[in-house]
Structure 1
Amino acid sequence: MGRVDYYHDPHAPAANSLVVGGSAIVADTQGRILLQRRSDSGNWALPGGRMDIGETFADCIIRETKEETGFDVRIDRIVGIYSDPGHVFAYDNGEVRQQFNICCACTITGGTIQVSDESTAVEFHDPATLDELTMHESIRIRVRDYLADGSPVLR
């Protein structure tokens, strides 16, 4: 299913749904951040996705990270809660979803790096080089919050 990502666009359609989603910031031992290049947009992004009925939020983060990167993770802390009503996703089926994402910092506990059907690449990147990557502003905000003082952010 295709989607269009609107970010503070006055021409964006009005949201008609809100879905709990999560994303993971996973750093390796050198402090590089794990990113995937999305197959739908070509943008670099954090692993993550929507929570399924019957699973806990923690299970969602762990499952999505494993599916999209090949790594098993442990959640260490909440980076922030992101619910900007100016950020909506319009899907082919008519759903227009307001962003609602809880981002967690995670540690790798196992697995090996792999590409999924949702991505064309999965790589670790030095935070100092992230400005060189094509990435949505919402992802940049989460990474900046992660690299800040460690207190959870509510946006």
Structure 2
Amino acid sequence: MPKTDYLDDPSAPKANSLVVGVTAFVQDDAGRVLLIERGDNGLWALPGGGQEVGESTPAAAVRETLEETGVEVEITGLVGIYSHPGHVIAYDDGEVRQEFSICLRARPVSGELATSDESTQVHWVEPAALDGLAMHPRMRVRVDDGLRADPQPYLG
């Protein structure tokens, strides 16, 4: 479903929904970060998506990561909760979501990199190479918070 992201834009439509989203910050033993190039907007992102009814947040992050990357992960902690009311996502069907995403820390346990309906590329990315990737600013905050490995999660 086509979408438009707005960040602190006074002309953005008003949010009319809030959906639990999850992302997984996955690092391998070499310190590389698992990223996808999204099929809907061409931007690089952590794997993730919507939590389904009857599913726990950690289970949603594991499922979404496997679906989008081919990598099975184990959740190891919390990077943060991201709910900036100035970030809204407008969909063609009239839904306008306020950002609400829980980013969990994870480690890979098995699998091989593979694309999906939602990812056009999947890569392990060296932290030094992140600046060369097109990434939404709010996603970059999550990646940077994950790299900091702060024992206190981001709450905002």
Task: Settle same-fold status: TM greater than 0.5.
Answer: yes
CA RMSD of aligned residues (A): 0.8
| SS of alignment partner, residue 97 of structure 2 | strand
Offset at 1:75?
A: 0.5
The alignment covers a number of residue pairs equal to 155
| SS of alignment partner, residue 139 of structure 1 | helix
Aligned to 1:100: 100
Q: Structure 1: which 4+ aligned runs deviate by more than 6 Å?
A: none
Aligned to 2:116: 116
Match status 1:7 vs 2:7? yes
Q: How high is the sequence identity, in percent, across the aligned residues?
A: 54
TM-score scaled to structure 1, two decimals? 0.97
| SS of alignment partner, residue 65 of structure 1 | helix
8 Å contact kept, 2:32–2:125: yes
Aligned to 2:131: 131
Instruction: Output the amino acid matched with 2:151.
Output: G
Task: Give the alignment of 1:66-105 within 5 angstroms.
Answer: 66-105=66-105
8 Å contact kept, 2:58–2:104: no
8 Å contact kept, 2:33–2:127: yes
TM-score scaled to structure 2, two decimals? 0.97
Deviations 1:59-103 (A, max 9, x none): 100100000001111100000000000000000110000000000
Offset at 1:19?
A: 0.5
| SS of alignment partner, residue 36 of structure 2 | strand
8 Å contact kept, 2:82–2:155: yes
Aligned to 2:31: 31
Structure 1: segments with no counterpart, 5+ residues: none
Q: Distance in 2 between matches of 1:15 and 1:64?
A: 24
8 Å contact kept, 2:7–2:87: yes
Instruction: Output the amino acid matched with 1:66.
Output: L
Aligned to 1:150: 151
Q: Distance in 1 between matches of 2:63 and 2:73?
A: 9
8 Å contact kept, 2:44–2:135: yes
